[in-house]
Amino acid sequence: MLHDSRPGYEVCGASIAGEVELVRDARTRGLVDLVHERYVEPGSADSPAVRAYLASDDVALRLLPRHAWTWDERGSEASNALRALGGAHPLVPTEPWP
């Protein structure tokens, strides 16, 4: 589930339900390498510690979706009313579930 919530009933998101398969073999290498290329500067892999970490990162999740749904209340009557009234509390960060 992805959920974006802002003051004033500015909420939207998406949820996908299905089966997840843990894939840990040569099939994941290309995808994992693409993620590394996006987030790790090329010269950083020269460090032995970084190289060891990147080599150990060989797991991917494959989602087989069964259902998906979205929601978007950003333009709803309630959202417009709360913004106009200034009646929304500011967001307070919360800790993730244990």
Chain segment 38-63, per-residue pLDDT in tens: 988 888 888 899 888 888 888 888 89
**pTM of the predicted protein model:** 0.55
The Cα–Cα gap between 92 and 89 comes to 9
Please check whether residue 82 is in contact with residue 51, taking contact to mean a CB–CB distance below 8 angstroms: no
Give the 3-state secondary structure of residue 11.
strand
Query: Of the candidates 29, 28, 50, 52, which has an alpha carbon nearest to the alpha carbon of residue 41?
Result: 50
Quick one: which H or E segment has residue 31? helix 29-39
* Residue entry with tokens 């998406």: 14
